[in-house]
Chains A and B, each alone.
Chain A
Amino acid sequence: MNFLGTVRAKDKNNKNILSMTLEHYPVMTENEILKITEKALKKWDINYISIIHRIGKLFPKDKIVYVGVSSKHRQNAFNACNFIMDYLKTNATFWKIEEFENENKWVIQDKKEIEALEKWS
C-alpha cells in the first residue's frame, strides 16, 4: 500500500496557492515519526513501513508526503497507512505556511484531523 500526498493548488477559500513552506522541529519530528511507526507495527502484522516527509519550500503538485506499508494481508497495510497518515497530521512537528500573491498564512489545524484519531482508540 502506497500513499503519496501532493501540495494543493487552492486553499479552503479557493484562493490560488503560489507556494508553501514547511517548517519542522528537528529531532522531535524524527522521534514522533518513529513513535508512529512503532505504534503501527504493534497494532498490525506488517513487514515494512517507509515514510518520507518533505520540508522547505514546495509548489502546487509537488510531492509532500509518502507512506508505504507492506504486509501479507492487504487490510493490515490499508489500515496501517491510514493510521500513520492520521498521526502524522496530528503529532509530527511540521507546520505549513501557504504563500499567496499578497500574503503568507500559517495553516491552522483542522478539527477533523483530531476527530479522525477517535477511530483508532
Chain B
Amino acid sequence: MIIKYFSWVKDIVGKSEETISISPDIDTPEKLIDFLITKNEQYKKAFSKRATIKVAQNKIYISKSTKIKNDDEIAFFPPVTGG
C-alpha cells in the first residue's frame, strides 16, 4: 500500500509518502490509523485530531469506514485551503 501525506500531516509524520504492507484485517482507513499510531509518536501526534483528517483512496475522497486494500493508494490530509 502506498500512503501519502499532505500539508501539516506530512510535516508531523515527517514524510510525504511511504509503501507498507498491511495485513488483510486492516481494511478501513480507521483501522489503518489505529495501526499507524502504534508505530511512533509522530504518527500518534499527526492523527491526534483524526476527525479533522480527510482520506482519499486512489485519489477519490472516502470515509474512514470505506473498505481499503493492500494495492490501494491511500492519502491523509487536512481540510483543503486552496482558492
Residues on A lying within 8 angstroms of B by beta carbon are 5, 22-25, 27-28, 31, 53, 64-65, 85, 88-97, 106-109
Number of A-B pairs, beta carbon distance below 8 Å = 69
Q: Do the beta carbons of A92 and B80 come within 8 Å of each other?
A: yes
Q: Do the beta carbons of A94 and B83 come within 8 Å of each other?
A: yes
A5-B82 Cα distance, complex, nearest whole Å = 11
Interface string of B59-83 (1 = CB under 8 A from A): 1110000000000000101111111
28 A-B residue contacts at CB 8 Å? A22-B82, A23-B7, A24-B82, A25-B4, A25-B59, A25-B75, A25-B77, A53-B82, A65-B82, A89-B80, A89-B81, A89-B82, A90-B80, A94-B81, A95-B6, A95-B7, A95-B81, A95-B82, A96-B82, A97-B7, A106-B8, A106-B11, A106-B78, A106-B81, A108-B78, A108-B79, A109-B80, A109-B81
